[in-house]
Amino acid sequence: MDAQRSGEGGGKEFQRVFSTLLTRIAEGRYPLRSYLPPQRELAAEFDVSRDTVQRVMRELVSEGWIESRQGSGSRVVKTQRIHSPRTGARQGTTLGPLLGAVFEQPHVTLDVYTLTSESLDAHIRLQVERIRAGEIAPAGIALRMLLPDDTEPLPYPAVKGDPRDTRLLHRMRAITRRHTESLLQALDDLRTEGLVPSVAVTFRRVRLTPTFKLYLLNGTEALFGPYEVVERRIRVQEEEVTALDVLGLGATLTHHVKDDEPDSSGTVFVESMQAWFDSVWNGLAT
């Protein structure tokens, strides 16, 4: 795993605390607009220094998960909501329960097209914990992930008004590298320790700018959501800049389910997106 974290340095303790808090936010333990525990409580819980917790908080702020104001604590400002036909028009769900149901199957296949993989990393780690606890026992896990080419310029994230400033692009690539390496190690450890007999994880790069996020689950379900371009302030290298960024986790995903009707909207959507993913994976990605 990469010991250097984007913006705030690395270390195993930093990664442990960061990954745990990110997982808790992603699974809804710390809901949107709720406050994280005080830093002194987190330092005691994880048995780490206040400095480590402060660095983790700065990184969560930098990635847009929380906002921190002196005297008022750290509040969750980003999470993932999913509109699903299974939960009704007025209700929503999160990625955690949907992935949890997939991991309860004997064989798990995930095809993912995304910008950074940060949300998937958090949720996969939650499923890894369930496997280690003996709650679930899949026989095989196969993950294919399409990511943008890391040698090509992208229109976002970018410093507004200064296309030559590449600091935000390098920051995003560091975030992507951290989360993909975390994913790879978490899943590969399951195979090495004999907890899951078959594990296959493959990342490929493609010269496309992601304009949407796509999860294909066991070939029967699809989660789809566009990346909405927003203007926000980001701290990079001790300077606050106005950035053009995208909402991935903060945007709503739609859930589509394949059924026995070949012409149903769910079946058509899942099959068409699977065909699109396979065509890019086999024809364009490297």
Q: Where are the domains of the chain?
A: 12-76, 81-283
Predicted local distance difference test score (pLDDT) of residue 271: 98
Mapping DSSP onto H, E and C, the string for 2-70 reads: CCCCCCCCCCHHHHHHHHHHHHHHHHCCCCCCCECCCHHHHHHHHCCCHHHHHHHHHHHHHCCCEEEEC
Q: Looking at residue 280, what DSSP letter applies? A: H
CATH class of 12-76: mainly alpha
Q: Which three-class secondary structure state does DSSP give residue 227?
A: coil
| Nearest one of 235, 248, 234 to 79, comparing CA atoms | 248
**pLDDT tens-digit map of 111-126:** 999 998 887 888 898 8
The per-residue pLDDT for range 14-50, each reduced to its tens digit, is 878 987 898 788 777 898 889 999 999 999 999 999 9
Tokens 């955690």, residue? 96
Whether residue 234 has pLDDT greater than 90: no
* pLDDT tens digits along 251-263: 678 999 999 999 9
Helix axes 95-103, 12-27, angle to 10 degrees: 100
The whole model's pTM is what? 0.80
Cα dist from 120 to 108, 116, 145, whole Å? 14, 9, 10
Residue 94 CA to chain centroid, in angstroms?
Answer: 12
**Per-residue pLDDT for 6 more than 70?**
no
Please check the confidence at residue 2 and state whether its pLDDT lies above 60: no
If you search the block for the tokens 């710390």, which residue do you land on? 30
Tell whether omega for the bond before 262 is within 30 degrees of 0, i.e. cis. no
pLDDT digits (tens, 9 = 90+) for 138-190: 999 999 999 999 988 899 999 999 988 999 999 889 889 988 999 999 999 99
Distance, in Å, from the CA atom of 70 to the CA atom of 17, rounded to the nearest integer, reads 21
Q: Does the structural domain 81-283 have CATH classification 3.30.870? A: yes
Q: What is the pLDDT of residue 269?
A: 98
Strand positions, DSSP E, the chain: 66-69, 73-76, 81-83, 107-113, 140-148, 158-159, 198-206, 212-217, 221-226, 228-236, 239-247, 252-257
The token pair that represents 187 in the structure block: 């899943």
Question: Which pLDDT belongs to residue 66?
Answer: 92
CA distance 64 to 54: 15
Band (3; pLDDT cuts 50, 70, 90): very low
Task: Collapse the DSSP code of 275 into the 3-class scheme (helix H, G, I; strand E, B; otherwise coil) and give the result.
Answer: helix
Report the chain's mean pLDDT, rounded to a whole number. Answer: 87
Give the Cα separation of 131 and 122 in Å (integer). 15
Say which residue, 196 or 174, is predicted with more confidence: 196
pLDDT digits (tens, 9 = 90+) for 78-91: 776 677 766 554 44
8: confidence class by pLDDT, cuts 50, 70, 90: very low
Residue 277: predicted pLDDT: 99
Tell whether the model's pLDDT for residue 7 goes beyond 70: no
